[in-house]
Amino acid sequence: MKPGSDAEIPRYLEVLRRLVPQSRRIDLFGSDGRFIAGSADGELAGLRPLVSRLLDKAGLQGRSVAGLQRVVRGRAVHLLVVHDGDGGVRGVVSILGRRLREGEQITPLAAVQEAAGPALPLLGQFLAQRGLLDTIERRAAETVELRALLDFEQIQAQSAVGGDAVRATLGAVAERLECDAALLLVPGPGLGLVEARGPDVLGNAAALLDLARGHLFEMVASRAQTLVLNRLRDAAGGELLPHRVLCLPLWHRHAVHGLLAAFRRQELAPFEDSHARLLEQLRQRVTELVANTYDENTGLLTRQAFEDQARDRVSRSPDGPRCVIYGNLDRLHAVNDLFGFARGDELLRRVAQLWRESPLADGSIVCRLSGDRFVALLEGTSLERACAWAERLRAAIASMPPPPECAGLQVTASLGVAPLPAWQTLNHALAAAESACKAAKDRGRNRVDVFADADVSLMRRHDDLRVFRHLVEALDAERLRLYAQPIRPLADATRPVEYEILVRLLDESGRLVMPDEFLSAATRYQLLGRLDQWVLRAAIERLTRAGESVAAAGARFWINVSGQSIGRREYAELAVSLLRQSSLPVGSVGFEITENAAIASLDAAKRCIDDLRVAGCAFALDDFGTGLSSLAYLKELRVSKLKIAGSFIRDLRGDPRAESLLRAMLVAAEPLGLETVAECVEEPQTVARLAALGVTYGQGYALGRPQPIETVLASLRPLPVEAPAPPGAALERRRATGTG
């Protein structure tokens, strides 16, 4: 009984017994019809239907219903409705009288009610208070469970290491329920996971999985409800198991297809209903996680989950040795055609089990990519060890006995192996391993091939062809966007901020694509000229619309020109025409060419520079220092800025030789009157060092990230009155008008 509340009930029943002398037993039922207490042990049988009927009638007719009377097994029974002060029904009192003698009449209900009258209102008031306490306690319990659920979500978010949301969920369940371990089992595809909390006091995970696959899953599937098993035996009359178990059935297509279980040692506190309720609130979330993370047929990771987890591992440890294994079953279509798709699916499950059970280094993951294609990411594994692993797997598949219905069938697989170095993306490694797998099939199947470096150019060509199509579509559909990155003065604050104009591509889904993903294709398939012209037109159009702000800020915007455009006279002619039609101040637009592009077409570069200088445009030599004869060509090219390659700037703080080379470039630039720009400035300490060395400008994330050009133009502010015009603007203006 409930301390401080239900302990008072026997006192009320004793008062009623004294008020009604003929009573032999008094029972109390709540407003929901449930037995609360009695003046004797246990509930008097057969009263529940009468109590329920009286409560239903009282609920409809209110205070006009006083009660009812019956003769039960020769005894008089009077049921009286208990009301609170507001007329609400709070329960029913049952008064059992002595056995009636032959011919004796039952005492009228009104007489019994009058006798019990003084105590009934007090009992009603007590039950009202008791109901309030129940409500408060229930809501407090709900609040505790809500907090537990929120705690679980927080633990789950903090525990999602490696992108494995399912294992993070199991860890959160074990931690929130203060368990020794949490287990997920989906027997059909062979999925079984265990997350232990602290030392493995329950023995190894295999023993728990065996228990779950047998005894527990049978119980959960047959009862189809959450089970609190604080005393569990391995069989009827068997030994008591050393742990308490809480089991939640997982549903799929209206059937129990798996379970989520929590384990505690017997010496720990028992599981309670509140633990079961918390687990039940997680059912939908766990079901969705499992469906999104694991393949329904094989229990291996889905492609999306594999890619997410693999990228997470690479980002956390980019330099670690790792390899990708790509496998494809040989002639699975023949199995499907001869024996049906059910046998094909069974075969896939058996092969998947071999992939899963092959010894893997910690952190390695396996995926069913699609159909009969499988992929593994082997962490901490050299190419030699990865090849050995793939060969063992190939041999295991080849020696796997066929299903009984498929007599005479030999199952084989072709596998490709490729390294995943730090500089390469996961998609490239997957493509490399797939190419090696195709080579294995071409060379006779049932073998392992390794991706060779000689195949890189072929892969790049395939990638460029695919990107080429996207780039053409983007140009046709105007799915290109302009960005601008600031080029800031490092020592002289009176100089205006300048900007480099950059281009981005939007793919069909609206994702922003960086230039390093499409410039190779644009170069290979001669699209750079068209891309340059689009950037030129779009940039001058946007700058013209903001012409007053550009002029007031004294800003200069630099446009990149590729080697393909430098060699075409029409690019310079288009630029001069657009600039003269615009209202932009002379000198507000400049052009950048890379050193290597300029050196490769020196005469064309000189001609392009001369043509555009007529329109008052300055030129910057980009990636300075990467060419073979950088200094020798400075006298040939009439540029006003040198943009020092980022490779010299990144190594500035840790490599004295990099600083020495940078000093030499500054010495060469000074007598020629050339301003300098340090690229790839990523740290504040580098900014200070560059300023001390005398570098004029800096560009990089430490000084400002690229932003949409519209955002940059809207943020321009006028220069202070004493600030000079853009560098070289006066000279360029005189040359443009023929006075210089």
The DSSP H or E segment spanning 98 is strand 89-99
With b for 16 or more beta-carbon neighbours within 10 A and e for fewer, the 500-525 pattern comes to: bbbbbbeeeeeeebeeeebbbbbebe
pLDDT of residue 559: 96
Among the listed ranges 201-205, 246-250, 485-489, 492-496, which one has the minimum average pLDDT value?
Answer: 201-205
Who wins on pLDDT, 198 or 415? 415
Residues of the chain with CATH 3.20.20.450: 484-503+528-716+724-737
The DSSP call for residue 264 is E
Rounded CA gap, 68 and 80, in Å?
7
The predicted structure's pLDDT at residue 661: 84
User: Do residues 491 and 676 make contact, with C-beta atoms less than 8 angstroms apart?
Assistant: no
pLDDT at 722: 53
Question: Can you give the pLDDT at residue 546?
Answer: 93
Residues of the chain with CATH 3.30.450.30: 6-132
- Please report the pLDDT score of residue 631 as a whole number: 60
Question: What CATH architecture is 484-503+528-716+724-737?
Answer: Alpha-Beta Barrel (3.20)
Q: What is the pLDDT of residue 474?
A: 80
Q: Are 194 and 181 contacting, i.e. CB atoms less than 8 angstroms apart? A: yes
- 500-554 pLDDT, tens digit per residue, is 999 998 877 777 877 777 777 777 667 888 899 999 999 999 999 999 999 999 9
| pLDDT score recorded for residue 633 | 64
Q: Band of the pLDDT at 654, cuts 50, 70, 90?
A: low
d(CA 666, CA 674): 9
Residue 705 has pLDDT above 90, yes or no: yes
Helix (H, G, I), strand (E, B) or coil at 169: helix
Q: Name the segment(s) of the chain with CATH classification 3.30.70.270.
A: 303-451
- What pLDDT sits at residue 489? 95
The per-residue DSSP string of 458-479 comes to HHHHHHHHHHHHHHHHHHHTT-
- The more confident residue out of 48 and 723 is 48
Q: Is 163 left (phi over 0), alpha (psi -120 to 50) or beta?
A: left
Mean pLDDT of all residues in 14-34: 85
* Statement: the pTM of the whole predicted model exceeds 0.75: no
Residues of the chain with CATH 3.30.450.40: 160-293
pLDDT of residue 131: 66
| CATH no. for 160-293 | 3.30.450.40
- Mean pLDDT on 325-338: 80
- Residue 4's pLDDT band, with cuts at 50, 70 and 90, is very low
Residue 295: half-sphere exposure toward Cβ, Cα within 13 Å: 27
Per-residue pLDDT band at 463 (split at 50, 70, 90): low
The yes-or-no verdict on residue 118 having pLDDT over 90 is no
CATH code of 303-451, in short, is 3.30.70.270
Q: Extract the tokens encoding 132.
A: 């309030």
pLDDT over threshold 70, residue 455: no
Q: How far is CA 216 from the centre of its chain?
A: 32
The arrangement of strands across the sheet holding 365-370 comes to 365-370, 373-379, 322-329, 413-419, 448-450
pLDDT recorded at residue 707? 95
pLDDT tops 60 at residue 132: no
How many Cα atoms within 13 Å fall on the side-chain side of residue 44? 24
Mean pLDDT of 447-463: 62
The CATH fold of domain 6-132: Beta-Lactamase (3.30.450)
Please list, in sequence order, all residues whose beta carbon lies within 8 angstroms of the beta carbon of residue 127, skipping any fewer than 6 positions away: 30, 31, 82, 84, 90, 91
Is the pLDDT score of 71 beyond 90? no
> Which residue carries 């990155």 as its tokens?
485
Q: pLDDT at residue 583 above 60?
A: yes
| pLDDT of 551 | 92
475-497 average pLDDT score: 90
Residue 656: what are its φ and ψ, rounded to 5°? -60, -30
Q: Where are the alpha helices (DSSP H) in 547-634?
A: 547-553, 563-566, 569-581, 595-600, 602-613, 630-634
Average pLDDT over the chain, rounded to whole?
81
Task: Say which amino acid occupies 390.
Answer: A
The fraction of the chain above a pLDDT of 90, given in percent, is 25
Asked if 391 and 448 touch (Cβ cutoff 8 Å), the reply is yes
Q: What is the pLDDT of residue 452?
A: 66
Q: What pLDDT does 155 receive?
A: 44
Phi, psi values for residue 105, rounded to 5°:
-85, 145
pLDDT of residue 713: 95
- Dump the DSSP string for 392-414: HHHHHHHTPPPPGGGTT----EE
Q: Out of 23-27, 258-262, 718-722, which region has the weakest mean confidence (pLDDT)?
A: 718-722
